Amino acid sequence: MTATTAFGSADAAPPPTMRRDLLWAFLGSLALLAVNAWTGFETLTDLGGDNDSLLRLVQVRDLLDGQGWFDLTQYRMGPEGGFVMHWSRLVDAPIAGIMLAVSALSGNAGTGEMAALFLWPFLLAVASLFLILRTARAYGGEAAMLPALVIGCGALYFVTIFEPATLDHHNVQVVLTLAALAGVLDPARRSGAGLLAGISCALMMAVGMETLPCVAAIGLLVALLFIFGDAADRDVARGFGMGFGGAGAVAFVATVPPEGWGIVACDSYSIAHFAVAALAGAGMALAASVGPAHRTLPRRLLAMFLLGLLVSVLVGTAFPQCLTDPYASLDPRLKSHWLDLVREAQPLSKLLAQHPGIVVARYVTPLLGLVLAVSAAVGPARRRQDIVVAVLLATTLAVGAWQVRGTTLAIVLAVLPLSAWIGRARSVAATSASPRAAALMIFAWLASFNMTWAVGAAWVGASLDPKSEAETAEVSACTGETDLARLATLPRSTLLAVSNLGAPVLRYSPHRVLAGPYHRNVAGNLVALDAFLGPTDRAKALAVEHDVDFIVLCPGNTETTMFADANPDGLLAALIRGEVPAWLEPTGEGAALRLYRVRPD
């Protein structure tokens, strides 16, 4: 049977197929792992620009070496004493657990670490594919299942966050967002599904702030379902409120030290986020549980209006600083010479002008999925699923327009409307011998793969500028284990290098670095910026002041090139030209990395 509400119709629950979905998700993840095996598991020794995965492993190692659970200081990066990272121990814990378990079984810590590098991304890929299949069935029916598996595997492969050694929290955020969506889309609309969605949203905040817009969108959707839906939607809202507030409290106690309970941090989970979760969660659970608050439509509307007003007043009066641009207080020099140059932080407008191929590869399938979802949501036969998916996909695309990293989640969520589209096209082609139906089905398949658009954009770019590829020599960015092997043989030292080398140096050597691509490492990054862009005598003074033992240069790293171009008279540009000041001593160079010892006075 199908229930109809003011918010659209809701399909009846499908037959239980959880084991089958889990099996297909496992097999699909194995296929992704096989593709990585075919390429030689390159990410195990060189993650390229994935500094966060490298530093996550360093953070987990520090935890296992005895650093405190609440102590998130990265002591080997930045000036003496380091700086406090904004990441969550909730991601460190399972990785550390895998390392400890396998190390205990094998008797070798290295084996435990290697197991974690494989198992953690693989398990998250399985969870993602499983949730994609569950949500695809709720959204597009059985006809969408095969397309969801195929397109889902293609999307997870394209976004690259599930490859071996990718330990950053973005893959965790994808899983949690899909879990929250699965709870909201649950066809049976049980309170347990709402509980799952609420817990997932609370954990999304605790893990990282990138998904805050999604948390807000899901909370708004649950509130609208509560207002305009039926009794089952009120059960979902009750479960969501309990899960959001309860998990928010547990995450707060588990990740914030008691001495920090009153400190507001907008870039990491703190009292600001816990207070919102507690108020919003408790208010929604209470409104959905007390009869007088939800008996009629006007009362439900009033209850949610008052709750929204209370949350707005709380944030506006107690935590107004968290409503501003998170990078507004960043030093202008770091903004212009670092943040504005980070590709994953670029807005859509800049990418259109500078990297149109990236726009085609990353934005087309989410935009196509949004068009399909919105078309269904505004149609006469709209369902609650159509509205939910359209709103959430629009939210992630809006984030992606602000910073390209937001498209990762949009690409994954777009699998739902795309798989439903392919499912309909397959059904039409199966019942019709029309060449037009077959052509539309083929087009739907091809258009739903990001790789199709990526390859097409690369082909067009090469056709327009055939010399560009031939003229671009392949150079190393010095981010891999082989490039940094020489550093690993040196006694522990303090190194001065561009920020892109910070995490790789910490991952593959025992040294300390001043710079690293993290917004809280302001002091260390400014030292590197002033030293490399300033005159050589200023660089010498900074090196002496911060006890720098070696200056590390990688001409093939893009950050090196940008710094050199920014000031041709600076130290970095001089070193690239081979002009070495007297206070530096070249200590030999490899194929990619150059090392200069700071001479003692």
pLDDT at 156 over 70: yes
Predicted local distance difference test score (pLDDT) of residue 470? 39
High-pLDDT (> 90) share of the chain, %: 70
Predicted local distance difference test score (pLDDT) of residue 363? 93
| DSSP string for 158-180 | HH-TTSTT--STHHHHHHHHHHH
pLDDT at 320 over 70: yes
Residue type (1 letter), 233: D
Q: What is the mean pLDDT of residues 87-102?
A: 96
High-pLDDT (> 70) share of the chain, %: 94
What is residue 15's three-state secondary structure? coil
Predicted local distance difference test score (pLDDT) of residue 1? 46
Number of H-type helices and E-type strands within the chain: 27, 9
pLDDT at 440 over 70: yes
Two tokens at 442? 């083929």
pTM for this predicted structure = 0.93
pLDDT at 469 over 50: no
pLDDT at 468 over 50: no
C-alpha separations of 311 from 47, 282, 321, 382, 537 in Å: 41, 11, 15, 31, 54
C-alpha separations of 573 from 170, 334, 555, 558 in Å: 35, 19, 10, 13
Burial of residue 522, with CB atoms counted within 10 A of its CB: 0-12 exposed, 13-18 middle, 19 or more buried: middle
The H or E element that residue 530 is part of is helix 522-533
Q: Are 590 and 556 in contact (CB under 8 A)?
A: no
Predicted local distance difference test score (pLDDT) of residue 409? 95
479-534: per-residue pLDDT in tens?
A: 888 888 888 889 999 999 999 999 999 999 999 999 999 989 999 999 999 999 98
pLDDT at 16 over 60: no
Predicted local distance difference test score (pLDDT) of residue 465? 55
What is residue 495's three-state secondary structure? strand
User: To the nearest whole number, what is the mean pLDDT of the chain?
Assistant: 90
Burial 266-282 (b: 16+ CB within 10 A, else e): bebbbbbbbbbbbbbbb
The Cα 31–Cα 496 span in angstroms is: 41
Q: What is the mean pLDDT of residues 327-334?
A: 77
What is residue 431's three-state secondary structure? helix
pLDDT at 120 over 80: yes
Angle, alpha carbons 400-171-359 (nearest 5°): 30
Q: What is the mean pLDDT of residues 331-345?
A: 77
What is residue 553's three-state secondary structure? strand
pLDDT at 471 over 70: no
240-298: per-residue pLDDT in tens?
A: 999 999 999 999 999 999 999 999 999 999 999 999 999 999 999 999 999 888 889 99
Predicted local distance difference test score (pLDDT) of residue 2? 55
Residue 472 binned pLDDT confidence (cut-offs 50, 70, 90) = very low
Q: What is the DSSP-derived secondary structure letter of residue 77?
A: B
Of the candidates 47, 131, 55, 40, the one whose C-alpha atom is nearest the C-alpha of residue 92 is 55
28-61: per-residue pLDDT in tens?
A: 999 999 999 998 888 888 888 789 999 999 999 9
pLDDT at 339 over 80: no
385-433: per-residue pLDDT in tens?
A: 999 999 999 999 999 998 888 899 999 999 999 999 999 999 998 888 7
Of the candidates 400, 426, 412, the one whose C-alpha atom is nearest the C-alpha of residue 154 is 412
The Cα 530–Cα 571 span in angstroms is: 10
Predicted local distance difference test score (pLDDT) of residue 376? 92
